[in-house]
């Protein structure tokens, strides 16, 4: 049992790193992340990159949905804005990737603010529908504004580059994606130590009360939209560099639902949850495929009945977590930690 964790000042309470052990574990985790690309094959490396992108986008959506209580079905659309921005910039200006990614984030944030505007008047589910409408319009623009987006065929772009380095392989991309993911999660962690972050949480818990406390609802809601879309835009930009082709069909509605599911399964309003959820949801199909491969020798028709299973499992995860574990994987993680921390006593 770990003892002596009593905080003696507000700074200590607000600190990101609350204990030595935590720093140790985090250092260990970062070390693993660094060693990972050198140790694994191209398949795992690819999955690692996918998880990294998903973590960024999920963290963004978590800020909006988990922390501010505004549900969005437009995440894929915002990612699309980021992806098209990167694609267009890299084709037409040849700017290096840090610039294009930031611009992608800003562009998505601008669109996010625009979409968030109705949040002054509508909220809850009506807002979700407004974001749905936004994603329909965005898809339409991606498909029809041919001079900029290349229409249905989309855009193909060159690999990301910086200082003469080209980031062509997954191995190189990993060193853009993962550090960026770590950085953006830490940034989000910091936001929730500030007035802004706390205002988000106040709005989520009861918006009218928050307003009475002097929080400008529209301003903070839009800020939340902007921040969340910024994350989505950067994730979309990375997506563009990763696959090097962007088409309107790359960002379907199901993708928005995927990210919502990741937030829920991971744990709404919990950054660790976002990370766990993103990784978990990205890896479930692959895990299922492993299971299928393992079953095939015994049940030869396994591939056929296992694949609809994915759809069922996806839905069941959403429903199951909401009913039985509303705080998501993060809560399970905490429980496990608590168990070890309190061992040999029961919690």
Q: Is 283 in the site for other proteins (CB under 8 A)?
A: no
Query: Does 136 help bind other proteins (rule: CB under 8 A)?
Result: yes
What residues contact residue 142 under an 8 Å CB cut-off, 6+ apart? 80, 84, 149, 247, 248, 251
DSSP class of residue 193? T
User: Which of the stretches 93-101, 181-189, 243-251, 329-337 binds other proteins when contact is defined by CB under 8 A?
Assistant: 243-251
Among 87, 107, 128, 202, indicate the residue that binds other proteins (CB under 8 A). 128
**229/110 Cα distance (integer angstroms):** 8
CB of 254 to other proteins, least distance (A): 9
Shortest CB 312 distance to other proteins, Å: 3
Binding of other proteins by 121 (CB under 8 A): yes
- Beta bridge partners, 245, equal 156
Name which of residues 285 to 324 contact other proteins (CB under 8 A). Answer: 285-286, 289, 292-293, 296-297, 299-319, 322-323
Q: Which stretch binds other proteins (CB under 8 A): 4-12, 14-22, 129-137, 222-230?
A: 129-137
Other CB atoms within 10 Å distance of the CB of residue 236:
34
Among 55, 185, 260, 329, binds other proteins (CB under 8 A): 260
Alpha helices in the chain (DSSP H): 10-14, 20-39, 42-61, 75-92, 97-116, 125-144, 146-149, 170-191, 195-205, 207-212, 217-243, 253-266, 271-295, 302-324, 328-342
Residue 115's Cα: distance from chain center in Å?
A: 19
Nearest approach in angstroms of CB 133 to other proteins is 4
Token digits of residue 115: 């979409």
Q: With binding defined as CB under 8 A, does residue 94 bind other proteins?
A: no
User: Which of 31/152 has CB closer to other proteins?
Assistant: 152
Rule CB under 8 A: is residue 247 a binding residue for other proteins? Answer: yes
Length of the chain: 347
Q: Which positions from 152 to 191 touch other proteins by CB under 8 A, shown as an x/- string?
A: xxx-x--x--------xxx---------------------
Segment interacting with other proteins (CB under 8 A) among 65-73, 85-93, 219-227, 271-279: 65-73
Instruction: Give the contact letters, 16-55, x = binds to other proteins (CB under 8 A), - = no.
Output: -------------------------xxx-xxx--x-----
Within residues 212-241, the interface with other proteins by CB under 8 A covers 212
In the bound state with other proteins, the residue whose beta carbon lies nearer, of 231 and 239, is 239
Q: How would you classify the pairing of strands 160-162 and 165-167?
A: antiparallel
Query: Can residue 145 be called a binding residue for other proteins (CB under 8 A)?
Result: no
- Interface with other proteins includes 326 (CB under 8 A)? yes
Residue pair 276/328 in contact by the 8 Å Cβ criterion: yes
Q: How far is the CB of 136 from other proteins (least distance, A)?
A: 5
- Give the nearest distance from C-beta 73 to other proteins in angstroms: 9
Distance CA 316, CA 262 (A): 13
Question: What is d(CA 280, CA 51) in angstroms, rounded to the nearest whole number?
Answer: 9
Handedness of CA 116, 133, 257, 70 (dihedral sign): positive
Query: Could you tell me the smallest distance in angstroms from the CB atom of residue 162 to other proteins?
Result: 17
d(CA 213, CA 186) in angstroms, rounded, equals: 28
What's the N-to-C CA distance of the chain in angstroms? 11
Strand partners, 155: 246
Report the nearest approach of other proteins to the CB of residue 33 (Å): 19
């Amino acid at each position: 049992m770990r003892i002596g964790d009593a905080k003696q000042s507000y700074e200590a309470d607000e600190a990101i790193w609350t204990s030595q052990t935590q720093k140790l574990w985090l250092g260990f985790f970062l070390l693993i992340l660094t060693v990972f690309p050198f140790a694994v094959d191209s398949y795992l490396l690819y999955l690692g990159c996918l998880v990294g992108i998903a973590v960024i986008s999920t963290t963004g959506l978590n800020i909006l949905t988990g922390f501010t209580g505004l549900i969005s079905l437009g995440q894929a659309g915002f990612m699309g804005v980021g992806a098209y921005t990167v694609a267009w910039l890299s084709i037409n200006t040849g700017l290096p990737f840090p610039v294009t990614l930031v611009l992608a984030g800003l562009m998505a944030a601008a669109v996010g603010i625009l979409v968030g505007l109705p949040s002054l008047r509508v909220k809850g589910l009506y807002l979700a529908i407004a974001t749905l409408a936004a994603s329909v319009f965005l898809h339409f623009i991606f498909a029809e504004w041919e001079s900029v987006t290349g229409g249905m065929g989309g855009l193909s772009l060159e690999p990301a580059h910086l200082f003469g380095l080209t980031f062509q392989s997954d191995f190189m991309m990993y060193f853009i994606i993962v550090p960026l993911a770590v950085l953006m999660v830490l940034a989000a962690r910091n936001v929730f130590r500030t007035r802004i972050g706390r205002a988000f949480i106040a709005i989520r818990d009861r918006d009218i009360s928050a307003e009475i406390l002097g929080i400008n609802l529209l301003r903070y809601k839009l800020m939340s939209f902007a921040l969340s879309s910024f994350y989505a835009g950067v994730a979309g930009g990375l997506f563009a560099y990763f696959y090097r082709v962007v088409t309107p069909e790359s960002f379907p509605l199901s993708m928005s639902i995927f990210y919502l599911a990741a937030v829920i399964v991971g744990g709404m309003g919990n950054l660790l949850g976002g990370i766990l959820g993103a990784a978990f949801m990205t890896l479930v199909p692959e895990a299922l495929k492993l299971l299928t491969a393992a079953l095939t020798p015994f049940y030869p028709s396994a591939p056929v009945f296992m694949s609809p299973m994915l759809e069922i499992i996806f839905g069941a995860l959403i429903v199951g977590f909401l009913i039985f574990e509303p705080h998501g994987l993060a809560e399970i993680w905490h429980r496990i930690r608590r168990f070890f921390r309190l061992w040999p006593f029961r919690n």
